[in-house]
Amino acid sequence: MKRSIMRLTIFLSAIASPLIAQQAVSGLTLEKNGEQVFVPLNEGLGVSSADDPSKIFRGIYLGITVDALRIQEQGASFVRDIPQDKIGSIFIGKTKSTKEYVLDGIKLGGLVSIGTGSFITSIFLIESGFDMEALPSMFLFGGLWTVVSSIVIVPVGALIGYGQAQIAEQNTVEYLIGDQQWKIVIN
């Protein structure tokens, strides 16, 4: 029994070793003048088209084939293969558009407004000794606070989202792919 467990352990180790080694080197390597940049799997990145630089595919890096970069776009279940000769540049860092950051800020502002109204309603409910006759007016007052606070808090959330987008954009690094620029190295 002990011998068969040992054989099984050795067999599984022998099978798993190439997989582990393959996983370690399966990221994306970019090279320029001897300098290398490594992008690990599942890293967020953007890829612009060489034909139309304004067209950017954003998503999670899944791997590379002999002639294409594999990216799963956010919110999509399918994988996009982008041919290497069609890649203009690779962006590492910001993977969401400014619109998505602003919408996230608006959602946060809306949730804070709802929380403010709920908090006001619960305070009045506790202070009234859980008076059920005054409950409709408490909910009305809490709803009014939600609306009034959202007039200020939702635009502030949008501004916070816009600020986060600007910071993320400043931290984004662009690697131009081409003859005298960065090259994709296939390991």
**Which sign does the torsion angle of CA 71, 73, 78, 84 carry?**
negative
pLDDT band at 159 (very low <50, low <70, confident <90, very high): very high
pLDDT(17) > 50: no
- Compute CA 52 distance to the chain's CA centroid, rounded to the nearest angstrom: 24
Can you give the residue ranges of every domain in the chain? 27-93+172-185, 98-169
**Tens digits of residue pLDDT in 49-100:** 888 878 888 888 888 887 888 888 877 777 888 888 888 888 887 767 789 8
Distance CA 136, CA 55 (A): 53
pLDDT greater at residue 160 or residue 33: 160
Query: What does the pLDDT read at residue 63?
Result: 84
What pLDDT is stored for residue 111 in this prediction?
A: 95
Q: pLDDT of 89-145, one tens digit each?
A: 888 877 677 898 999 999 999 999 999 999 999 998 888 888 888 888 888 988 999
Tokens of 172: 């984004």
Please report the pLDDT score of residue 104 as a whole number: 95
d(C-alpha 24, C-alpha 18), whole Å: 10
Q: Give the pTM.
A: 0.61
Give the per-residue pLDDT at 53. 79
Please tell me the distance from the alpha carbon of residue 177 to that of residue 141, in angstroms, as a whole number.
59
Residue 1's pLDDT band (cuts 50, 70, 90): low
Second-level CATH architecture of 27-93+172-185:
Roll (2.30)
CA distances from 46 to 12, 43, 81, 125, 183 (A): 37, 10, 13, 50, 16
